[in-house]
């Protein structure tokens, strides 16, 4: 209960500070397995699987994601996903506010538009809460993250379904409602720590940890939106941040590379939204202290 209050308070402070409406895991693991060993195993699994997932998101996600999610589910039979513990100091309140703002706008907008699951289009799956994409999660993870929701078993059925195949699934979930309070809890306790860990692995722990909190948060936002893959021509700027900017903790270099990502959406119907988000992330980065 205390953790929920702390998280809700963080989200309220974060969005208020930025002028927005307030936001407030068949083979059992031995019971005596050391917690540290399990945590390390989960991280290694994530390092192997995450690039595959992100590559799928950018190419033939509709065909590949069910296979990738099936692989993740098989892995989680051996190394079950762990319940997340609240970690409210991973990134700055301003960075939390940025992510929430670009995912759902505000509490009022969330209530009007996002309480029921949606399909955002493209390679996304059925999405609910604060940008929680069921298509890129396993049934086990969805069940763990959303155990407080009565419709959890129905949401678990969205695992691995992405692209246009997700659209008819949304229609069958129109009666499901996810309150803003629960969405905020899952964002703070489950989603944000996972994406923080993913960004930290992708960019390298030493360089990532040396950055100011705002700059770390901006990179978490990039990964929350784009994924953590470093493979392919669409990831040139991601690699430059990792290999050129981070060794010197150069926030202006990072900001410049984030802005350059806009080349990927220029002239498309995604330009305004995604380039706007990149500009906000870049600005937060270069103001970081």
> For 90-117, what is each residue's pLDDT tens digit?
789 999 999 999 999 999 999 999 999 9
Give the Cα separation of 220 and 104 in Å (integer). 16
Instruction: Give yes or no for residue 22 having a pLDDT over 50.
Output: no
Instruction: Give yes or no for residue 74 having a pLDDT over 50.
Output: no
> In the chain, pLDDT over 70 holds for what percent of residues?
69
Instruction: Give yes or no for residue 207 having a pLDDT over 50.
Output: yes
Strands (E) in the chain, as ranges, are: 127-128, 132-133
Give the Cα separation of 8 and 280 in Å (integer). 23
Instruction: Give yes or no for residue 129 having a pLDDT over 90.
Output: yes
> For 168-204, what is each residue's pLDDT tens digit?
999 999 999 999 999 999 999 999 999 999 999 999 9
Q: Distances in Å between the alpha carbon of 196 and those of 36, 199, 224, 256, 262?
A: 19, 5, 8, 21, 22
Six-digit token pair at 217?
């948060």
Instruction: Give yes or no for residue 220 having a pLDDT over 90.
Output: yes
Six-digit token pair at 25?
């895991």
Indicate the DSSP class of residue 81: P
Considering just the CA atoms, what is the radius of gyration of the chain in Å? 18
Contact 136, 65 (CB under 8 A): yes
Indicate the DSSP class of residue 56: H
CA neighbor of 58 nearest in space, from 162, 167, 198, 131: 162
Give the Cα separation of 51 and 202 in Å (integer). 9
Of 16 and 149, the one with more pLDDT: 149
């Amino acid at each position: 209960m205390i953790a929920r209050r702390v998280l809700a308070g963080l989200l309220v402070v974060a969005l208020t500070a930025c002028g927005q409406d307030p936001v407030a895991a068949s083979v059992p693991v031995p019971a005596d397995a050391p917690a540290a060993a399990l945590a390390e195993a989960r991280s290694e699994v994530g390092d192997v699987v995450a690039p595959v997932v992100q590559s799928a998101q950018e190419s033939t996600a509709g065909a590949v994601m069910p296979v990738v999610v099936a692989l993740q589910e098989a892995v989680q039979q051996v190394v079950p996903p762990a319940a997340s513990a609240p970690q409210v100091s991973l990134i700055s309140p301003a960075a939390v506010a940025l992510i929430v703002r670009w995912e759902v706008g505000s509490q009022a907008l969330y209530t009007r538009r996002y309480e029921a699951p949606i399909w955002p289009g493209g390679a996304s799956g059925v999405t609910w809460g604060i940008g929680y994409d069921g298509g890129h999660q396993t049934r086990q993870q969805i069940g763990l993250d959303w155990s407080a929701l009565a419709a959890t078993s129905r949401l678990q059925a969205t695992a691995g379904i992405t692209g246009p195949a997700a659209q008819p699934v949304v229609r069958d979930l129109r009666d499901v409602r996810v309150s803003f309070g629960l969405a905020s809890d899952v964002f703070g306790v489950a989603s944000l720590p996972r994406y923080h860990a993913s960004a930290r692995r992708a960019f390298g722990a030493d360089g990532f940890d040396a950055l100011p909190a705002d700059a770390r948060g901006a990179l978490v936002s990039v990964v929350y939106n784009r994924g953590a893959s470093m493979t392919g021509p669409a990831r040139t700027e991601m690699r430059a941040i990792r290999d050129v900017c981070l060794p010197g903790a150069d926030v202006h270099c990072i900001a410049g590379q984030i802005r350059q990502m806009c080349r990927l959406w220029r002239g498309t119907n995604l330009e305004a939204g995604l380039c706007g988000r990149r500009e906000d992330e870049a600005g937060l980065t270069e103001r970081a202290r």
